[in-house]
Structure 1
């Protein structure tokens, strides 16, 4: 889905209809056994985060020295509750900059936050969505608008967050897929990285997010695309008798000033993500 994507791009749709969801009695028991602890973890963590942020904000401003660790704790333990395997390879970027990754489902947000303390970049409309909006605001999401008149203002926001040590995360595909492919990276968002205020110190780290389906299930089991509703997908994930795994592959950070323009940088990041994604799916 395009829920946390920063632009209003068309949703990707498969030629084949989504797989039917069949929970059965055992599946519904698993929904309860996993769903209740997950809800307590997520909403309990959010309450703790908001309470600490009341102190953190006046003392530290845009910097968040404590609350990102709460988000990371919640996301790591969400996978333990769900029973989904989690593994990573590659070194985390130490330089100031952004992270770009392919997009399969809402589970990407948990996976990428579990390994690295990041701040998602989202279209401005998400801030007003019930539930998701205040959750995104609480965790430090950066909201942007597709208005050229506000380009300089948004670049200033990026600069402030990046210089504060925040790693901003973008999904350059512009939408999510079935997890079996990587769509072409859109270059629009990469343009901001070439602003005079950012180009000389900024790096971009590509990350391949690869989901491996539970044994006996379709390869696209964790994919969430098109106009698929969130609730059925959540129930399917909670009620799976067997779970699969998610794999994060971190690639070498690219220094923005080493590239002539946004198209070259986007192509470099896309190639790294696409190549590793294809290899990881073959080696499953």
Structure 2
């Protein structure tokens, strides 16, 4: 058989399989999302959102989703502290399962997420706090977050207010930082870095602009591996945080996240 025939034979033999594998992976992911919705509704009927069984189920569900999507997570630095205020850059919807799978973390999300199919119900059942930006709700939400911090819950926010391409960190939304100041809670900067095989920022993972969830998910299913490094910086001590203004705290945290991102 000639070399050309061999190439054609390999192409003909291999071409049906990648689409079939992709569809099989999509089916498994959709079934897992459906299971998550059922689990969230079932647990919410018998448990409050912040109880240990609900949080444990959310971590297990997120970890399995990452396995289905073949996301490899490398953690650097100290683990998130209980009762800490985590401030992370935001690249993709993947950020939430990445962080959720590795710690007992509650998230703050924009209010619109509550209305998203499936995702909104999952977030609500997992104890996500919602905020409507620009409506004057920031001060009230800061009081609520401070109460959660005082009770020992770890709260994670994405203070850029939107996702980015992962190259740099946008300005942080400063009113959110009133919460750790009020609660005198430690603040832990977190940097998320998605990298391709060459070590450069992964251009396929960012979920930005007019991206639709289903098309973004479909593209990720072609990937054999997605790599993300989570750098948890040393937390700013509670006493130091209490002595800052929200503006100072936002600027300090932003600089630490940007530094961690730049040195990755």
Distance 1:152 1:274, change over 3 A: closer
Q: Quickly say closer, same or farther: Cα 1:161–1:77, change in 2 above 3 A.
A: same
CA drift of 1:127 comes to: 1.9
Query: Does structure 1 retain, via aligned residues, the 8 Å contact 2:192–2:261?
Result: yes
Please give the alpha-carbon distance, in whole angstroms, between the structure 2 residues aligned to 1:94 and 1:226.
Answer: 33
1:123 aligns with 2:123: no
* Greater shift in the superposed pair: 97-106 or 121-130: 121-130
Deviations 1:242-282 (A, max 9, x none): 323111111111135414211221122112211121221xx
Query: What is the CA-CA distance between 1:238 and the residue it aligns to?
Result: 0.9
| TM-score of the two chains, using structure 1 as the length reference | 0.77
CA contact (8 A) 1:213 1:221 kept: no
Unaligned runs of at least 5 residues, structure 2? 1-14
Counterpart selection for 1:162 from 143, 146, 149? 149
Q: Tell me whether 165-174 or 91-100 shows the greater mean CA deviation.
A: 91-100
Aligned to 1:97: 84
Output the CA distance in 2 between the equivalents of 1:47 and 1:163.
31
Aligned residue among 30, 36, 47 for 1:56:
47
Pair 1:31–1:54, CA change in 2 (3 A): same
- The answer to which of 89-98 and 267-276 deviates more is 89-98
What corresponds to 1:265 in structure 2? Answer: 249
The structure 2 residue matched to 1:33, chosen from 12, 21, 24, is 24
The Cα shift of 1:210 comes to 0.7
Give me the TM-score of the superposition, normalised by structure 2. Answer: 0.83
Aligned position for 1:237: 220
Question: For the Cα contact (< 8 Å) 1:179–1:222, is it kept in 2?
Answer: no
Give the equivalent residue in structure 1 for 2:173: 186
| Structure 1 vs Structure 2 CA RMSD | 2.5
Decide whether aligned partners of structure 1 residues 52 and 27 sit closer, same or farther in structure 2, where only a CA change above 3 A counts: same
Q: 1:48 to 1:79 in 2, by over 3 A?
A: same
Structure label with greater radius of gyration: 2
- Which of 180, 189, 194 is 1:206 aligned to? 189
- Answer whether contact 1:97 1:203 (CA < 8 A) is retained: yes
- How many aligned residue pairs are there? 247
Q: Give yes or no for contact 1:179–1:210 (8 Å, CA) kept in 2.
A: yes
Gaps of 5+ in 1: 1-23
Q: Which residue of 1 aligns with 2:9?
A: none
